[in-house]
Amino acid sequence: MRRIAALYSGLSYQYRSWNEPKYRKYIADIVYIPDMEDDSLAGFDVVLLPSRLHTGLLAKVKPMLDQFAANGGTVVVFWPNDAERIVPNQNWEDRPTNFWWWLDKNAKSGIEQRNPEHNLYKYITLQDATWHYHGVFWPEGDVVPLVVTEDGGALVYVDKTSTAGTWVVTSLDPEFHYGSYFMPATERFLDGLFPWLAEGEL
Amino acid sequence: MEKHRIAVLDVKVGVMGEVGGSSGYTYIDMYDLPNIPLEPYACLVIHGSSDQEFLLKHKDVVANFLNQGKVVLFGGQLFRPWLPGGSSFVPRTIRSHLDYHIAVAKAHPIFADVDPIELTYKKGVAGFFARGHHPVPAGAEVLLTLPDGEPTLYIDRSSTKGTLMVSSGYNLLGYRDGNTTRSIGERVEAWIAQEYNLLQQGVHIQ
């Protein structure tokens, strides 16, 4: 099983998500960002960056993530509030968030699957990744898109070419919603994501 | 009271629902809390997206602020014991949207003419307001509850020499929309000023 570091900045929803036993069993360590030092990610295979981080903490952790990826590690990014700076080789586009798409007649999320044979889809379904989103990525490298909007913006993709490591990038924020006791799809997403990160083909 | 005497601990993420309401408040990077003189401020607003490990490490700063006869607003889900009188968040088991129904437990000027249904539902969807509660300290005044009486908003004048307003959802200072709810933010602001003035005059409110 890969050793996963879940980064943590003392927020209630991170606390609940990372300490939920069914996810905690996949997490080798919960790493509190304000206490991190340059070598804090040594010995891990995967590092998980939660959404909604204080910009000062993002600035602190960014060079560590780059080094980790340069060493061949896997960086998993949930909706980063400073996406342009954090995720390599892509352009981020903020999108107005439609929390209500599912209330409309003939509800259509506008979210589509790509590469259905990808190993992640042995762990989650497209529906498990379908809730509102805050923006899209336009990757510039040779990436594997997994969930996209109708116009091709990426909501979930894997990038193995921009660095020596692997970036699993999503504009979704499952740990916020699950950890805030809100929205069941986010729990199904995490139910699949953790075993995939620990044991799947990334 | 001037707006800038309300200090909002800035979590530097721009989380929706946690904007501090109208402009004019003072924003302090939450990690600067132990280093900033707090004398100029009457009220400290602490968001649910704050680092509670850090707040626990510096809980004396919050307690000392309150003990100067000042006001603290918190809205969020507590899981560390840094807030005077605070208890850990208890989620409600949700079986239907009815489990999210908010009731006004005690008449209070902040909620005068407010329709609780409008607090509960946004565009027909429930659950934005509160999804659980914090057990209250002795002597707390409970303003809003969930269906089994779980307090989602309380005022605590007993745990310190100041006053706490604690919500298990968002703090209410940013509440500026809706038909019957649009005045809540302004009323909270007025309540802070009134509360602070009474505290500074040494009046004990029952």
**Chain B residue closest to A100 (CA)?**
B123
Residues of B with a Cβ under 8 Å from any A Cβ are 11-16, 29-31, 48-55, 76-80, 89, 91, 94, 123-125, 127, 131-132
**CA-to-CA distance for B132 and B140, rounded, in angstroms?**
17
Chain-centroid distance, C-alpha B76: 8
Residue numbers of the domain that contains B143: 3-200
Residue type (1 letter), A185: A
Q: What residues in A contact B124, CB-CB < 8 Å?
A: 103
Mutate to test the interface with A, among B79, B94, B170 (most CBs of A within 10 A): B79
Structure-block tokens of residue B16:
């929706």
Q: What residues in B contact A181, CB-CB < 8 Å?
A: 91, 94, 131-132
What single string gives the DSSP state of each residue in A104-151?
A: STT----EEE--TTSGGGGT--TGGG-S--SEEEEE-SS-EEEEEETT
Is A10 within 8 Å of B51 when comparing Cβ atoms?
Answer: yes
Examine residue B205 and state whether it is found in any structural domain, yes or no.
no
Give the other-Cβ count within 10 Å of A184's Cβ. Answer: 12
Quick check: A60 contacting B, CB < 8 Å?
A: no
Is A52 within 8 Å of B15 when comparing Cβ atoms?
Answer: yes
Domain count, chain A: 1
Using CB atoms, which residue from B50, B79, B123 is nearest to A15?
A: B79
Mean pLDDT of chain A: 93
Domain count, chain B: 1
What single string gives the DSSP state of each residue in B68-133?
A: TT-EEEEES---STTSTT----EEPPPSSGGGG--EE-S--GGGTT--HHHHHEETTEE-SS-SEE
ipTM value for the complex: 0.93
Residue type (1 letter), B41: Y
**CA-to-CA distance for B152 and B163, rounded, in angstroms?**
17
pLDDT digits (tens, 9 = 90+) for B111-166: 999 999 898 887 667 777 889 999 999 999 999 999 999 999 999 999 999 999 99
Q: What residues in A contact B132, CB-CB < 8 Å?
A: 181
**CA-to-CA distance for A174 and A182, rounded, in angstroms?**
10
Nearest CA distance, A1 vs chain B (angstrom): 29
Nearest CA distance, B20 vs chain A (angstrom): 17
CATH at residue B87: 3.40.50
Is B131 within 8 Å of A181 when comparing Cβ atoms?
Answer: yes
pLDDT tier for residue B206 given thresholds of 50, 70 and 90 = low
Q: What residues in A contact B53, CB-CB < 8 Å?
A: 10, 32, 34
pLDDT digits (tens, 9 = 90+) for A159-200: 999 999 999 999 999 999 999 998 778 999 999 999 999 999
Is B49 within 8 Å of A34 when comparing Cβ atoms?
Answer: no
Angle formed at CA A152 by CA A150 and CA A153, multiple of 5 degrees: 105
Q: What residues in B contact A81, CB-CB < 8 Å?
A: 13-14
Examine residue B206 and state whether it is found in any structural domain, yes or no.
no
Taking alpha carbons only, the member of A2, A47, A85, A41 closest to residue A168 is: A47
The pLDDT of residue B17: 44
Residue numbers of the domain that contains A99: 4-199
Using CB atoms, which residue from A12, A55, A103 is nearest to B124?
A: A103
The pLDDT of residue A15: 98
pLDDT digits (tens, 9 = 90+) for A30-83: 999 999 999 999 999 999 999 999 999 999 999 999 999 999 999 999 998 888
CATH at residue A28: 3.40.50.880
% of chain B exceeding 90 in pLDDT:
76
